[in-house]
Amino acid sequence: MGLLELKNIDAGYGRIQILHDVSLEVNEGEVVCVIGPNGAGKSTTFKVIMGFINYMGGEVSFDGNDIVGFRPDQILGQGLGYVPQGRIVFNQMTVRENLEMGAYIERDKKKVEQAMENVFELFPRLAEREKQLGGTMSGGEQQMLAMGRALMTQPRMIMIDEPSLGLSPRFVTEVFERIVSLSKKGLTIMVVEQNAARALEIADRGYVLELGRNRYEGTGKELLDNQDVRRMYLGG
């Protein structure tokens, strides 16, 4: 049994169905990426897992427990972290305050400080800018802050939605290096990513969605080598 499992998921916004019978699995310790064209349902898949949108049918389980109907804060409490698309940070809060907001469900101050130390070790730039306002940071720094905030609950698994979106090539490389570092520390990771080739290079396995349905799945290498996948989603 996978750490995270989606079976035959139907979901959407209001009465508009986006996902049709989508199934995927993430095993403990894996990096799994979800790729596909715009409108394929990639980000919607993350939102249904986190309880943000209208669930219409199917099963979602984390660590063997059914999480359908859970509030987002309850899902965080299960050990599942989430980094939404768009580098969402609290602009008028400092780096430290942003990180503390990520630990709002944790009441043990020692655990919060330990999580803060872990984040600063992973992202030294955040430690250097501890008192800087989130809104004054560069796009790449804000992405690191958003990832760091999601790590403050010390989750067993983290979902990262479009980590490279709008970043300079230097920061794209740095963000992917941090994802690899987290994986080496044993964290289970699922990534939705527009830079499909880059994501597949670091992924143990991947899924391709198209029009809200499963299209392909396989190891990162298998999908990189698949001629149909290369032609349709990787630019040749």
Q: Which domains does the chain show, CATH number per domain?
A: 4-88+158-233 (3.40.50.300)
Edge to edge, what strands does the sheet with 65-66 contain? 16-26, 4-13, 54-62, 65-66
pLDDT at 228: 93
Distance CA 107, CA 75 (A): 17
Do the Cβ atoms of 162 and 193 come closer than 8 Å?
yes
Confidence of residue 88 (pLDDT cuts 50, 70, 90): confident
The pLDDT assigned to 151 comes to 96
Residue at token pair 């400080």: 113
Q: Which of 168, 173, 140, 156 is nearest to 26 (CA)?
A: 156
**Does residue 77 contact residue 156 with C-beta atoms inside 8 Å?**
no
Residue 135 has pLDDT above 70, yes or no: yes
| pLDDT (tens digit per residue) in 161-198 | 999 988 888 889 999 999 999 999 999 999 999 889 99
What does the pLDDT average to over 78-98? Answer: 93
Give the C-alpha distances (Å, rounded to integers) separating 56 from 46, 61, 68: 15, 15, 10
On average, the pLDDT of the chain sits at 93
Please report the pLDDT score of residue 125 as a whole number: 93
Distance CA 173, CA 35 (A): 18
Q: What percent of the chain has pLDDT over 70?
A: 100
Q: Report pLDDT for 204.
A: 97
Least confident range from 9-18, 98-107, 181-190, 199-208: namely 98-107
pLDDT at 236: 58
Is the pLDDT reported for residue 122 higher than 80?
yes
Going along the chain, which residue ranges are E strands?
Answer: 4-13, 16-26, 31-35, 54-62, 65-66, 80-83, 157-161, 188-192, 205-210, 213-219
Which tokens sit at 56?
């219409």
Q: Angle at CA 146, nearest 5°, toward 53 and 3?
A: 60
Is residue 151 within 8 Å of residue 83, measured between CB atoms?
no
pLDDT band at 80 (very low <50, low <70, confident <90, very high): very high
Predicted pLDDT at 87: 79
User: Token digits for 72?
Assistant: 């987002």
Q: Work out the average pLDDT over 218-225.
A: 96
| pLDDT at position 221 | 95
Residue 9: per-residue pLDDT:
97
Instruction: Give the mean model confidence (pLDDT) for residues 86-100.
Output: 93
Among the residue ranges 25-29, 71-75, 103-107, 171-175, the one predicted with the least confidence is 103-107
Q: Quick check: 60 pLDDT over 80?
A: yes
Choose between 232 and 209: higher pLDDT: 209
